[in-house]
Amino acid sequence: MFRQGRLRGRLRVAGAVPLALVATMGYAAVPAAAGGSPAAVVSPAAPHPMPSCQEWQTITLVPQTPAKPGSSASPTAWKPWCHNAPPTPFGHAAWDPPTVVGGPQLGQSGVIVDAEPGVGALPEVGDVSYVLADLDTGDILAAKSPHAWLRPASTLKTLTALTLIPRLDPEQVVVATDDQVAANGTRVGMVAGNPYPVHSLFEALLMLSANDAAYGLADAAGGYDETLALMNAKAKEIGAFDTVAVDPSGLDEPGQRSSAYDLALIGRAAMALPDFRKYIVTRDAVFPGGTDKRTKQKYEPFHIPNINDLLANYPGAIGIKPGRTNRAQHTFIGAATRDGRSLIVTQMGSTSGSWKPTAALLDWGFANADRVAPVGRLVEPGDAAPPRPLAEVPASLAAGAEGSGAKGPASGTPRPGDQTSADAEVGRSFPVPGGGVVKGALVLVTLLVGAGAYLVRRRHDN
C-alpha cells in the first residue's frame, strides 16, 4: 500500500511530462533531499491511487486515454503504472586497478572502448552491464561496467553445465524425485519415479532452461551442496571471482551473483566442450515420457524447443543461453561466427528480452574488430588472482550485497517453498507428456515510451 512521501520504486515521468504538469493532474511533487532520489509524486487526493510496486519495478505516468491518431495535442489524463526497472548492482569496494581481472580498464563503470577515429559509436542498449569479446583470442572489444555484481538468472546454468558435463556419463540414468519435479519456475516436466538419461537432462537444461533438470543433474553429481561446491570451485579455477553460485538453476537466492565479465569467461570455457556446443544449438529434441506412479497415467515422449531467439534470428549464431528472473531482469550469453571470426557477448540487467540489442552489439563487433584496441582480455584458467580491494567494503554496502556467505538448502533439491514466487520467475508454457503444459507464463509488460506509445516486452526464461 502506498504511503505519502514514500514509493516502492522511483517515480519516472515518461516522455516530456514535467513535474509542473504532474501537479495539474492532482499529484503533488515532493522535492528530493539534497543528494537524494528524484522528486516523488504523491497526493492522497490523486485521481488514481499510487500502485504498490514490487521492489524490481518503478512507476511511470501513462496516458489514461491515448491521443487520437494525427493529433498534436498532449494527453491531459494520466495514471501511474508499475513497470520493470533495471536492477542496481550490488555494492562492493573499488578494486586496486593493477589487480582487476582482465586488465585495469575493466574496473571502470560505464562504456569502455578504444576505437580508431571514424569507427561508429557502439549501439545504445539497455543493459546495465555487458562484455563483447573475441571468443578465440579472448580480446575484449568493448564493455560496459564489466565487473558490476548482478544476479545472473538462468545464465548460471552455463556454469552448471560447464561443471557437470565432464563429470557425468551422458547415458547415466537419473530417477526423478518429488523435490526435482516440484522445482520452481520453468520445468520440462519430469515425472517422479521415472528414469531420465543425463543427456536428456542437459538438453532440457540448456535448450529449455528447465529447473527440474538442473536439480536432477545436481543430484546425479552428488547432491545440491556438492554441486554448488564444484561450481564455485570451477568459477575460481577459470578466474570468475565475481561469481558466487547458490542455486544450480540460477533462481534468485541471497548472495548469488556474477558479472558480465565472469559470464564471458564461463561461456568461453563451456564452448570448449563439444557436448555443450551440441546441446546449445539443438533446435528440437525429444524428451522421455513416463508413468505417474500414483495415478498410473502414462505420458508419451514429447518435443522440447530451444528458447534462444538469437539462434533463429541471427545468421551465424552458435549459442549460448538466455535467463530471466524478476530481480535479475533479462540476462544473456550469446555467440556467433562470421567470416572466420567468433564473438561472444554477455548482457546483464536489461528489461528487454529481445534478441535485437544482442544482434546490434555483434554487428558492431564484426564490423569493427580490426579497428579497436582491446580494452582487456578474458583470462585463461589459472592466469589470474582475485582482485584486491582498495579498502574494505562498508558494512552498509555489504548488507546491500546480501552477503556472499548465504547458503542454499542444507541438502537435496529445494522444496517449492524455498523461493518466493517473485524469485521463481517462469518463462513460458511448454508441452509436457499427455498434452498438458508446464505452467509458465508469457508475460507482456506494457511500457510507455514517449507520450502514448507502448512497447511490448517479453519475459524470457527461468
Q: Identify the residue with better confidence: 98 or 426.
A: 98
For 44, phi then psi, to 5°, come to -65, -20
Asked if the model's pLDDT at residue 20 lies above 80, the reply is: no
Instruction: Give the mean pLDDT of 295-309.
Output: 97
Peptide bond into 304 cis (omega under 30): no
Choose, from 129, 145, 157, 354, the residue flagged as catalytic: 157
pLDDT tens digits for 421-457? 333 443 332 333 333 333 332 222 232 233 333 232 3
Q: What 3-state DSSP class applies to 172?
A: coil
Choose, from 129, 145, 200, 209, the residue flagged as catalytic: 209
Asked if the model's pLDDT at residue 137 lies above 50, the reply is: yes
pLDDT reported for residue 49: 73
Residue 209 annotated as catalytic: yes
Nearest-5° Cα angle at 264, 259 to 268: 150
pLDDT tens digits for 321-353? 999 999 999 999 999 999 999 999 999 999 999
Over the Cα atoms of the chain, what is R_g?
23
The beta-carbon contacts of 278-281 under 8 Å, at least 24 apart in sequence, are 279/161, 279/202, 279/203, 279/205, 279/206, 279/207, 280/206, 280/207, 280/306, 280/308, 280/318, 280/319, 280/320, 280/321, 281/306, 281/311, 281/318, 281/319
Asked if the model's pLDDT at residue 62 lies above 70, the reply is: yes
pLDDT tens digits for 206-217? 999 999 999 999
Residue 154 annotated as catalytic: yes
The amino acid sitting at 318 is: I
| 157-161, 299-303, 366-370, 449-453: least confident range | 449-453
Choose, from 154, 200, 342, 354, the residue flagged as catalytic: 154
**Sorting pLDDT into bands at 50, 70 and 90, what band is 246?**
very high
- 56 Rama class: left (phi>0) / alpha (psi -120 to 50) / beta: alpha
Asked if the model's pLDDT at residue 10 lies above 60, the reply is: no
CA distances from 208 to 86, 283, 329, 407 (A): 24, 10, 18, 26
Residue 293 annotated as catalytic: no
pLDDT reported for residue 65: 63
For 157, phi then psi, to 5°, come to -60, -20
pTM of the model: 0.76
